[in-house]
A = this chain, B = another copy of it.
């Protein structure tokens, strides 16, 4: 992804590009691509607007960089599923890892939610390419486990969708979740127990 022929970043470049991406994460995850302004990003980063545009060509450039930078981290838990491990344990661990990501990185979750909602103008290539490959590899593992009778038979791809949707729901729709639950609840802890139960019942052969 990073151009190897490009000159290495100076200390200041490193720091400021990082500040900008952090500010942009705040802005984009709160307001979406069109809703966030460069001024907002600059303020969040503690820089001036022209200075932000000194480090990035445009708002779109920041957005694209942010998405591609975070995508690997976002997809990592699925790649940590161990094909040699115990099927149920591996899936349950993936579910809990994904839920923890929603709890600890809600901004990232919302960033991707906005992007997909919008029709993924910056991610279409990846959706049909890299992402699909990663999913296909996981699906193969799941199907093997199912045909070995070590996991109940369900449509693997929709199993994955269910994990994505339920875990990310607690980040993307956190306001709704909290409004419905009322005070005195720990949404993520409760969700952890609920999902553990759900997937155990669904996937135990």
Contact = CB atoms under 8 A, between A and B. Distances in A.
Interface residues of A, number: 52
A175 B116 contact: yes
Contact of A169 (B161, B176, B193): B161
Interface of A: 30-35, 110, 113-114, 116-120, 124, 127-128, 131-132, 135, 152, 154-155, 157-162, 164-166, 168-170, 172-173, 175-177, 179-182, 190-191, 193-194, 197-198, 201-202
A179 B132 contact: yes
State the copy count for this chain.
Answer: 2
Main secondary structure of the interface of A (DSSP, over half): helix
In the A-B complex, list the 9 residue pairs whose CB atoms are closest, starting with the nearest.
Answer: A165-B169, A127-B179, A34-B35, A158-B194, A165-B165, A128-B179, A116-B173, A165-B166, A116-B176
Contacts of A160: 180
B162 A166 contact: yes
